[in-house]
Amino acid sequence: MSCRRPGRGGGRHSRKMIVMQPLRTLFADYAAYHQTAGNKAFHRVGIPLIVLTSIGMLARITIWRGGHWYVDAAMVLIALAEAYYLTLSPLLGVAMLAVTIGFYFLGSWMPMWLNVALFVLGWILQFVGHSVYEKKQPAFFKNVTHLLIGPLWILNDLVPVVKR
């Protein structure tokens, strides 16, 4: 699908392409950056740590409060990520929602210093996996969407929905 930008001519360069790639294609591209057993092992630990602690830290940032109800930054991140995940794969999207709700409660319960320490550890594991084992830059350097694809790729190992 393409859409025109207002105020521009009808030429080829005036269109902004909006492309939704199939999950299998996204997984194949992501997997190309994660071939070695060592890198995969580091990612299986590092990615969940990053997701858990990102949610735990963002849960402390209140965006809106009204009486007994509130919305924090983690809730917004989860809602936006889930909207994307559900369009890619409803089954994996629902499974990821269950995981992130669990991570929300665990990360919120953990002290902030522990969230920060485990967040840093998770990123160290990512970069060690790529520099020591894979000898390639992380996939998100090429495509920032891979920051969202990585957690889904790891979850697909546990709940194999998409055949690779």
Name the DSSP letter for residue 143: -
Looking at residue 8, its pLDDT comes to 45
From CA 120, how far away is CA 54, in angstroms rounded?
Answer: 10
Q: Which amino acid belongs to residue 76?
A: V
What rounded mean pLDDT belongs to the chain? Answer: 87
Say if pTM beats, i.e. exceeds, 0.85. no
pLDDT tens track for 39-51 = 899 999 999 999 9
| Structure tokens, 150 | 């990585």
Looking at residue 144, its pLDDT comes to 81
From CA 15, how far away is CA 38, in angstroms rounded?
Answer: 42
From CA 156, how far away is CA 154, in angstroms rounded?
Answer: 5
pLDDT tens track for 50-95 = 999 999 999 999 999 999 999 999 999 999 999 999 999 999 999 9
Looking at residue 52, its pLDDT comes to 98
Name the DSSP letter for residue 83: H
For residue 65, the cross-strand partners are 70
Looking at residue 20, its pLDDT comes to 59
From CA 148, how far away is CA 51, in angstroms rounded?
Answer: 10
Burial (Cβ within 10 Å: 0-12, 13-18, ≥19) of residue 67: exposed
Query: What angle do the packed helices 90-109 and 73-88 form, to 10 degrees?
Result: 160
pLDDT tens track for 5-20 = 444 444 444 444 444 5
